Homo-oligomer: A and B are copies of this chain.
Amino acid sequence: MALIVQKFGGTSVGSVERIRSVARRVAKWRAAGHDLVVVPSAMAGETNRLIALAHELQPHPDARELDVVAATGEQVSVGLLAMALIELGVQARSYAGWQVKVLTDSSHGKARIVAIDGERLRNDLAEGRVVVVAGYQGVDAKGNVTTLGRGGSDTSAVALAAALEADECQIFTDVDGVYTADPRIVPEARRLHTVTFEEMLEMASAGSKVLQIRSVEFAGKYRVPTRVLSSLTDPAMAVDEEAQSGTLITFEEDPHMAMEKAVVSGVAAQRDEAKITVPGVPDKPGIAYAILGPIADANIDVDMIVQNVSHDGMTDLSFTVHRNDYPRAMKILKGQVQPHIKCRDVTGDERIAKVSIVGLGMRSHAGTAAKMFRTLAEEGINIQMISTSEIKISVVIEEKYAELAVRVLHKVFELDQE
């Protein structure tokens, strides 16, 4: 029988009734003979409530103390879920991050997991218990409580699966898997039975918000077979059926998987970005840093960065930021950067969308990019920026064309066909 780590999000444990439903699902897997480690998030809304309290006391809460407060949400969930399991007659025991222990660095609010001591959990599993472990949190070398940041429970689950060498990490969520495109935009979108972790990584960064990108990275690094599946199905669904549901993130090395892969696996659109261009800058060493350094110093994350060849020693640098950061980024560029590098202007546009196609097959198939660009051109959609990785092509287009672009690309790459 297998060792399985199951992660349930905040909505799945958002009420006493839902916690009972999660317990029934876990109990069913236990009854089928599997060893189980369960990682619930905080009850929906709880982490926000705690963080709001902190902000009432301090506009910029002390990072160490904020973690002390925020970590309690998951501690409540693990205790309640363990009770629900015990009430069903399942032996269960809960642990906070410091009890396991989940050792992290000391970056409060965005800590990284350094090591997990699985000894205690292995003993409990050997004695027949389901262990319920608080996600999102850990403890640093000095014994301070840390949290991993938003979506950290996904990362906790994958990290636990890696440390315990689990057979599978199951991420239960409110979607039933990874799709070739957003089904709300493309009704013909298909659920993928498998996706490689590299594709998943590109999809996560391309706006398909099924899994936190850090947890996907973790899954890839430690080769943890990770399955995304629905927590909205009947908890009594047969184990054999549930085990095949959702989407499994796999590794390319499996030749069977690679052979049956299509060129393109999915299309995604991201609409919460803004484009910024610094035109006519001298094409000399240090210029990109002079522009993006102050942006990074202001803790603004930059997504796409594009710089083309220069003409007459001058070039243009363009990049995208989250739309919320756009006003701040423009202020920094006009106030600090423009006077310093003496560029002639800084321009920007909030009404853009980034559309990406992702697929492992692109590596060996020439012409994918050309096909994408031709398809968009035929629809009269102008491409403003292009950026590519080995398995992804992203373009920036006018926002109003985002849905149309996704639909036509989904069709031209035959993603609606099995």
Q: Does A333 contact B (CB under 8 A)?
A: no
On chain A, the number of residues with a Cβ less than 8 Å from chain B's Cβ atoms is 37
Whether A93 pairs with B79 at a CB distance below 8 angstroms is no
Whether B94 pairs with A56 at a CB distance below 8 angstroms is no
Whether B96 pairs with A83 at a CB distance below 8 angstroms is no
Task: Give A87 to B61 CA distance when docked, in angstroms.
Answer: 8
Whether A69 pairs with B79 at a CB distance below 8 angstroms is yes
Given contacts A69-B80, A79-B54, contact A86 B62 (CB under 8 A): yes
Whether B53 pairs with A80 at a CB distance below 8 angstroms is yes
Whether B76 pairs with A61 at a CB distance below 8 angstroms is no
Interface residues of A in 386-412 (CB under 8 A from B): none
Q: Which residue of B lies closest to A23 (CB)?
A: B57
Instruction: Identify which of B68, B76, B78, B98 contacts A94 (C-beta below 8 A).
Output: B68
Q: Does A385 contact B (CB under 8 A)?
A: no
Q: Does A379 contact B (CB under 8 A)?
A: no
Q: Which residue of B lies closest to A52 (CB)?
A: B16
Residues of B within 8 A of A96 (CB): 68, 145
Q: Does A258 contact B (CB under 8 A)?
A: no
Task: Give A54 to B19 CA distance when docked, in angstroms.
Answer: 11
Q: Does A50 contact B (CB under 8 A)?
A: yes
Q: Does A417 contact B (CB under 8 A)?
A: no
Given contacts A65-B94, A75-B68, contact A16 B80 (CB under 8 A): no
Task: Give A65 to B87 CA distance when docked, in angstroms.
Answer: 12
Residues of B within 8 A of A86 (CB): 58, 62, 65
Q: Does A122 contact B (CB under 8 A)?
A: no
